[in-house]
Structure 1
Amino acid sequence: MADRIPREFIDQLLQRLDIVDVVNSRVPLRQAGKEYQACCPFHDEKTPSFTVSRDKQFFHCFGCGAHGTAVGFLMDYDRMSFPEAIEELARQAGMEMPSELGPSSGPEADLRPLYGIVQQAMDYYRAQLKAHPQRQRAIDYLKQRGLSGEISAEFGIGYAPPGWDNLLHALSGPGKASPQLLLQAGLIAEPEPGKAYDRLRERICFPIRDPRGRVIGFGGRLLPGETDSKAPKYLNTPETPLFHKGRNLYGLYEMRQALRRPERLLIVEGYMDVVALAQQGIRYAVATLGTATTVEHLQLLFRQTPRLVFCFDGDRAGREAGWKALQTSLPQLSEGREVRFLFLPEGEDPDSLVRKEGQAAFEQRIEQAQGLSDYLLEHLAQGIDLSDTDGQARYADRVRPHIEQLPEGTLRHLLARRLARLTGADQGQLDPRPRPGPRTRQRGPRPAHQRPSTPLRQAVRLLLEEPRLALLEQAPAHWSQARVEGMELLTGLVELIRRNPAIRPGPLLEHWRDSNYHPALRSLSASPLNIPESGYEAEYLGCLERLAKTAREQEFDALTRRSALQPLTSGEMERLKALSRMISR
C-alpha cells in the first residue's frame, strides 16, 4: 500500500502539519528557545535530551540518536506502519486519503461505506446485549466466564440474537444500507439470489479492530445449548476488503490502548483468551484469527515489541500449531528479536487457566516459557538416539536446514555451536556461514555521517539543514556535471527544492523515504554540521565550486586522452586551452 500513496499527497500533508503538534499530543513538550524539549520517549532518561524543531520539522534525541520526521515519530512511537502513519496524520490534518487505496476492491474503491456499516453492526450487537428479550443467556454466559461489564464494554462485546435476518432487517432497507453492502462487508451470506441471512446468529460477538481502532469484522462464539449442532463453535467474518485474517490480530488495538510500549506480547488462539487475560490484568495478549501465524502477523507483532511468547494448548493440535509458528518465525529473527513458547497443561486454555490460578501464577508460566532454540532442538530430537553416531548424524541433518533459515547473527551462530556440541560435528559444516571471529570480522559500510566528508556529502547535509541554499543564484556553473557518487541525489534535492521553495527539512527528507538514498539521508540529517549558521551559504557555494572544479578536471582529462588518439576540432582545442587555464589558477 505504501507505494500506492501518491508522493504529492504526502508532500502536501507534511507541508500542512506541524511536528510539534504531532509529538506534543503524545509526549508533552516544553519550549526551550526556538525548539521544544522533553525526556526521550525511546529510552529512559532524567534530563531532557529529546528536541523537536518547528523550523526544521525534525525530532532528534542527543541521548539515543532517535531522529526523524512526524511520519517516523508515529512509526516509532505508536508502532505504526508507514501507511498507518500517513492515514493518522491525514486525519489530524483534516485531509482525506486518496480513494484509490482500497486493498482489493479496484483502483477507485472507497472503503468508508464498508467501515461505516461494520461499525453500525457492532453498535447493533452491543444494543442487543443490553435490550434483547433473550439477552440474559448471553449475559449469564459472560459472567460465567468471569467477565465484568467494564471489560466487555472495552472490547465492544455484543450479542447476535436468534433468527435468520435480524441484522439484515435492522441495517438495510429504504433509507439505509443496501444488502449488497452488508454482503461485501461479510455481515450476511447469500447462497442463492434472494436468500440472504445473517452470518452471526445466537452468538457472542467480538468486534475485530484494526490498529487504528476501526471495526473491520467479527468473531462469533456459539452460545451453549444452541439448537444447530452442526454450527461451528467459532465463526469469523470471511475475507473482505477490510478484513484479512492472515494480516489482522484480535486485541491488538486494545493492547495498544492499555500499554504504550509493551515489553512482550503473548500470542494466544482465541478471542475469549484475550479478554479473560485482560480481565485478570494481563493486557499484552493478542490472538490470531483462526489461522496459523503468518509472516504478516510476525511483522505486525515485531513492530510492537521485540519479545514474543506463543501460548498454545498442550494437546497434539497445540503442539502442531506451535511447531508451525516456530517455522514461520525463523527467518524473521533478526538481531534483538526473541520468540518463546508456552504450552499449557492438557485440557487447559489461557481463559480457563488464568481464572483458575490468577494473574501472578499465569505470568510466572510466561516468564518460564521455553526458548525457541530449546524447543527446536527438543522437537527434532524426538525418536533419535543421540548416544549413537548414526543418530547424531540424523539429528544434525534434521536441524541444519532450520539453522539455515535464521538470518545472520548471534542466534544462528550460537545454535550452530550448540548443535556441534550435541553431535560432535564441525560447526562449519552445520552453519556454512558462521559468524566471523574477531580477526575475520567483515566491516560493513559506515553510517553516512561517519564517512569522510566530501563536497557532495557536505552539500547534501547543508540542504537538509537549510533547503533555501538550493535557491542561491550565485552557484557556479557546471557543478552538476561532475561524475561523482551521489550526484543524482544532490541534483534531485536541488530540483525538488526549486519546485517547492518553501519546503522545510522534514518534508524534504520524507520525500525520499521510498528511495535507496533514504537511510543515508536520515543518517546525514542527524549528524552535526559543526559550522555556524552564518557560514552555511559560503560553505555550500564552496562545495559546489569544488564539484565544478572536479567537472573541469574530468573534462580536461577526457579531452587530453582523446587528443592522443585523434586530432581535436578547433572548438575542442579552444576548450582544452580554457580548461588548462582554469585548472592552473
Structure 2
Amino acid sequence: MSLPPNFLDELRGRLSLSQVVGRKVTWDMRKSNQGKGDWWAPCPFHHEKTASFHVDDRKGFYYCFGCQAKGDVLGFVKESENVSFMEAVEILAREAGMQMPARDPQAQKKLDRQTLLAQVMEQAVQFYRLQLKTAGGGAARAYLARRGLSEAVLDRWEIGFAPDGWQGLWDNLRGKGVAEDLIMDAGLARPSSKGRNPYDIFRNRVMFPIRDARGRAIAFGGRAMDPDDNAKYLNSPETLLFDKGRNLFNLGPARAAAGRGQPLIVAEGYMDVIALAEAGFEASVAPLGTAVTEHQLQMLWRIAPEPVMSLDGDKAGIKAAMRVIDLALPLLAPGRSLRFAIMPDGKDPDDLLRSQGAEAVQKVLDGARPMVGLIWQRAIEGRIFDSPERKAALEHELKKVTGQIQDQSLRQHYDRELRGLTWKLFSEQRQQDRGRGKRDGTGWRPGGRPSGPVQSTRVSYLATADEAAQDHMREAVILATLIVTPQLIADFDDGLLSMPCRDAEHARLRDLLLRHDPETGDLAAAVGQEALENLMRLRHVAISPCLRKPGDTDLARMTVAGEIAKLSAARGLNAEIAEAIEEIEGFADEAVTWRLGEAAQLHHLATRSQQEDTAEYDVGENGAPINRDERSALDALLAQISFSKPGT
C-alpha cells in the first residue's frame, strides 16, 4: 500500500519524537536541554551506560554515537518494536488519532496527481520571476526597491510579478503542453462564466511563492499593484496541495534557523517575514491570509516551546493578539506557551527595521510579554473597580478565562499570578481612596467625621499599637512556617494574598511565596540566608511548635490556618469599630452594639488555638501553644501534689 506524503508529514508533525522515544529510555537530564528539544539517553538498541543516544526534537531525528543507529519517529518504532514500516505507521496513527488512508488504488493516483501539480507550480514560479524582469514589471520593481528589497533578495525569495492580463500565465503553460485541468487544479486559473477560456487568478500583482516544509511550491500570495484593488493581498485557493490553515510562510527555513537556536517569530505578513529574515531574524514565519489556526499553533510548538507573536502596534494588532490567546488557552501546557512582542504604535516589523534598524526590533522582542500580561490588560483596560460588585465581576471573569486551561498545574499558576495582580490593584486603589479621603493632616474626611479612633476609644486594646505588633508577629510565624514547609504554600494562596504586610520585608517574603514554583523554584535562595536567619531568630517564631518539629506538615498546616484566622478576625473587628466610630457621630442603636459584639466574639474564638471539642492545643498564659494532653497530665500531677501536702 502506498501512502500520500502529506499523510506521513502530518503524522510526523503530530507526534513528538522525544515523547515516543521516552517510553523506551531514561533521559539524562543533566545532559539534555528540554527547552531546545535536545535530549540524551543510553541507547535502547545496544547495551551501554553512557548517554550517547541523541534525539533532536526540532528536526525530528535521532542518532546514536555508539552504534550509529539513526532515523525518524517511524524508523524508531519500526526498529524498537520489530515491526514492518506499515505496522509502525498504523501504531503511530492510532496514537496521533489519525485514520489510516483507505487501502485502495486511488491513493497512488492521488500521490501522482500531487506530484504533477507541484511541477506545474514550479513552472508558474519561473514564469512570474521572468515577468518581474521585463518592461511590464517596471512598476513592481520600483515598488520593491522602495520597500528596500535588493535584486539579490528578490532572487533569494523568488519574488515575481503577475502581468496585468487575463491569460498571461494560462497561455504560457498551455504553450508548454500543460493540461488545462492541471492549471485549474493548481489554483492558477478559473473558468470563465462567459464561455471564454479560463483566466488567470493573479493579475497585476507582486508574487510571493509559498512553499511547504519539504520545499515544494504549493501556493502563491499576491500583493496588488493597483491601490484601488479590492483585495490588497490575495492567496491561492485551497487545492490538493495547499491548505492555508495547515501551512506557514517560510516554514522550512524558519524551522532550520530555530534548530540553530534562533527565536521563532510569528509576523503578520510576507513582507514582515522577509524583512525580519534579511535582518538576521531568520526563524520568522507568517500565517497565510487568515488568523492563526489551532493546527498552526501546534506546528509552531513543535518547532519551539514559546514562539514570539510579533504584532503591529495598533488596535487591529491587539485584537489579533487576543484572538490568538483565546485560541491558545485550552492548548497550553508546561513548556508550551506564547509571548507577544507588540510593535510601537502604527508600525509593523518592516517599518521599524527600515526606520530604526535591527537593534530596535531586538529590543521589542526582548520585551515580549507573557500571555498572562495581556489577559490582565484586557480584563482591566478602560474599567473602574469602585464597588464590591465590580471587583467580584473581575475575579469571576479571570477565573472563567483560566478555567479554559486544561493542564491543572499550569491553571493553578495562572490563578496565582492573576490573584496577585488583582490584590495589588485593589490594594493600590484602597491607598488612593484613603489619600483622597483626607483633606489635610487633621485626620478629618469630607463630611466632618473623624478618620481615626476618637479619644474615648484609644485606650481600647484593639485600637492601640499592640494590634499592629501582634499582626506583625503572626505574619512572621506564617511566613516562617511556609518557608520551611513550601509544599503547603498552594493551600494558603488566598490567606497570603489577604495579608497586608505593612513591613517591607514581610511583603517581599509574601510575594516570593506567592510566586514560588515548587518544581523549579529555589525558595531558600530567593529568600536569602541573612533574611531567613533574621526571621527565625524572632522569639515568637523560634518558640512556634511547628518550627521546633520540622517535617510535621499537619502541625504546620494547623499553625498557618490558625494564624491566618486570627489576622482575618482582627481585621474584621477593626473594620466594625472604624465603621461604628463614624456612626457614633450620628446615632447608635442596638444594631451597632450587636455587630460589635458579633465581631468581638469571632475575634475571641479565632485567638484560641482551636475550638474546645476538636482542640489538640491550648494557649498558655504566655501565648504559646500547649499540648492539651500534657497540660491535663500536669494539672493532675499538681492536684496530687497539693492533696499530699501536710495539713491539706
Q: Cα offset for 1:146?
A: 0.8
Q: Cα offset for 1:400?
A: 1.4
Aligned match of 1:220 in 213, 219, 222? Answer: 222
Q: Give, in whole Å, the separation in 1 of the partners of 2:47 and 2:168.
A: 52
1:43 and 1:134, CA in 2 relative to 1: closer, same or farther beyond 3 A?
Answer: same
Correspondences of 1:148-163 after superposition (within 5 Å): 148-163=150-165
- Number of the residue aligned with 1:362: 361
| Higher alpha-carbon Rg | 2
Contact persistence 2:42–2:51 (CA under 8 A) = no
- Number of the residue aligned with 1:129: 132
Contact persistence 2:162–2:206 (CA under 8 A) = yes
- Number of the residue aligned with 1:186: 187
- Number of the residue aligned with 2:391: 392
1:427 and 1:195, CA in 2 relative to 1: closer, same or farther beyond 3 A?
Answer: farther
- Number of the residue aligned with 2:645: none
Which protein, 1 or 2, shows the higher relative CO under an 8 Å CA cutoff with sep ≥ 6? Answer: 1
Contact persistence 1:50–1:60 (CA under 8 A) = no
Contact persistence 2:166–2:200 (CA under 8 A) = yes
Correspondences of 1:165-184 after superposition (within 5 Å): 165-173=167-175, 176-184=177-185
Correspondences of 1:548-559 after superposition (within 5 Å): none
Q: Give, in whole Å, the separation in 1 of the partners of 2:34 and 2:402.
A: 33
Q: Cα offset for 1:151?
A: 2.3
TM, length-normalised to structure 2: 0.51
Match for 1:234: what amino acid? Answer: Y
Match for 1:180: what amino acid? Answer: D
Correspondences of 1:339-378 after superposition (within 5 Å): 339-378=338-377
Identity percentage over the alignment? 33
Contact persistence 2:264–2:304 (CA under 8 A) = yes
1:416 and 1:85, CA in 2 relative to 1: closer, same or farther beyond 3 A?
Answer: same
Q: Cα offset for 1:361?
A: 1.3
- Number of the residue aligned with 2:411: 412
Secondary structure in 1 aligned to 2:245?
Answer: coil
- Number of the residue aligned with 1:201: 203
Contact persistence 1:386–1:392 (CA under 8 A) = yes
- Number of the residue aligned with 1:120: 123
Q: Cα offset for 1:65?
A: 6.7
1:51 and 1:419, CA in 2 relative to 1: closer, same or farther beyond 3 A?
Answer: closer
1:44 and 1:339, CA in 2 relative to 1: closer, same or farther beyond 3 A?
Answer: closer
Match for 1:407: what amino acid? Answer: Q
Q: Give, in whole Å, the separation in 1 of the partners of 2:247 and 2:157.
A: 16
- Number of the residue aligned with 2:280: 281
Contact persistence 1:211–1:252 (CA under 8 A) = yes
Match for 2:138: what amino acid? Answer: Q
Secondary structure in 2 aligned to 1:159?
Answer: strand
Correspondences of 1:3-402 after superposition (within 5 Å): 56=45, 62-63=50-51, 66=54, 73=61, 107=107, 108-110=109-111, 111-130=114-133, 132-173=134-175, 176-192=177-193, 193-223=195-225, 225=226, 229-402=228-401
1:181 and 1:5, CA in 2 relative to 1: closer, same or farther beyond 3 A?
Answer: closer
Secondary structure in 2 aligned to 1:289?
Answer: coil
Tell me the matched-pair count.
380
Instruction: Mark the runs of 5 or more structure 1 residues left unpaired by the alignment.
Output: 11-39, 87-92, 440-585
1:74 and 1:253, CA in 2 relative to 1: closer, same or farther beyond 3 A?
Answer: farther
Contact persistence 1:5–1:101 (CA under 8 A) = no
Q: Give, in whole Å, the separation in 1 of the partners of 2:303 and 2:151.
A: 28
1:214 and 1:401, CA in 2 relative to 1: closer, same or farther beyond 3 A?
Answer: same
Q: Cα offset for 1:222?
A: 1.2
Q: Deviations over 1:151-203 (max 9, x none)?
A: 22222111112211110011125x61112111111111224254411111111
1:259 and 1:388, CA in 2 relative to 1: closer, same or farther beyond 3 A?
Answer: same
Secondary structure in 2 aligned to 1:134?
Answer: helix
TM, length-normalised to structure 1: 0.56
Name whichever structure is richer in helix by fraction.
2
Contact persistence 2:276–2:350 (CA under 8 A) = yes
1:4 and 1:113, CA in 2 relative to 1: closer, same or farther beyond 3 A?
Answer: closer
Contact persistence 2:43–2:52 (CA under 8 A) = no
Q: Deviations over 1:280-336 (max 9, x none)?
A: 222121111111111100111111111211122222222211100111111222111
Secondary structure in 1 aligned to 2:376?
Answer: helix
Contact persistence 2:262–2:282 (CA under 8 A) = no
1:414 and 1:348, CA in 2 relative to 1: closer, same or farther beyond 3 A?
Answer: same
Instruction: Mark the runs of 5 or more structure 2 residues left unpaired by the alignment.
Output: 10-30, 65-70, 78-84, 90-99, 427-491, 496-513, 520-648
